[in-house]
Amino acid sequence: MMQGKVVVVTGAGGGIGRDIALAMAEQGAQVVVNDIGATLAGEAPAASGTPAAQQVVDEIAQSGGEAVACSESVATWSSAEKIVQCALDRFGRIDAVVNNAGNLRDRIFHKMTEDDWHAVIGVHLNGSFFVSRAAVNHFRTQNHGAFVHMTSASGLIGNFGQANYSAAKLGIVALSKSIALDMERYNVRSNCIAPSAWSRMTSSIPSNTPDERDRVEKLKRMECRKIAPMAVYLASDAAVAVTGQIFAVRANEIMLMGQSRPLRSVHMSDGWTPQRIAETAIPSMQKHFYPLDRSADVMSWDPI
């Protein structure tokens, strides 16, 4: 499905990104495997051994595919430009971008630091914008292209201790929708995947209580490789009519996620006062309020 296409996959040195890069190559794509090789918190590791991105490139080459490693960060405008330029220099074109790079700085809100906030927003939200922006003029010139962005149920629904991550991931949904609207005239598509899978990112989830341990065991049954087929499909020409959508992928399940729309309306012909809102508007809408659910509460069934 990806024969003749060139794809950039960020954060492709391990986990979900690695499996997406391998699947893209298996389907015929030439792949830029982008990964800075950082720790889960986004910090630079000690330089030793073969970089993670190069290991994935070697694996693709051993299977007869073509790939190149790129260690530039997604978190600045200039380095994101270099990621896209790597595709152009090596393969002469770019057809799709998978914005998968990520980090975590989980902390309860009242203890979250300025650095925790900026570090996560910088990679997830800014990084998705920077790499997409670096690629989009090439897509516009060739009158086609596809973006696949990784969001999360933590942003779509909610989770404890992830204000930075949740805000970034919901911001990515708005970014994707805006790209889809702005670039439709140039046949450029933009969609989101909310993946549920056991990876280095999810391995940091606490497992101190019986409920937490049970949740982690369920997560371990959700393999990273299960996310890759949807990413390949959305990047391919088979998805030419699919844009502006959000899909959740969880083991063998694919879910089309809802987008915010008016749920209930109340009207007062001569206008509202704070007192009338308290007496009439809120009581009439309150039964439709959303509870303080977490993603695990909403997607509470076992992986299928």
Set 165, 186, 233, 290: catalytic member: 165
Residue 20: strand pairing partners: none
Residues 6+ apart with CB under 8 A from 51: 13, 35, 37, 69, 71
Q: Please, are residues 101 and 74 in contact by the beta-carbon 8 Å criterion?
A: yes
Query: Which amino acid is located at 37 in the chain?
Result: G
Sheet holding 96-99, edge to edge: 66-70, 30-34, 6-10, 96-99, 145-150, 188-196, 246-250, 253-256
Could you give the CA distance from residue 152 to residue 169 in angstroms, rounded to a whole number? Answer: 6
Burial tier of 205 (Cβ tally within 10 Å: 0-12, 13-18, 19+): middle
Widest CA span of the chain, in angstroms? 73
Residue 203 dihedral angles phi and psi, to the nearest 5°: -65, -15
Is residue 165 annotated as part of the catalytic site, yes or no?
yes
Could you give the CA distance from residue 36 to residue 47 in angstroms, rounded to a whole number? Answer: 11
> What residues act catalytically?
165
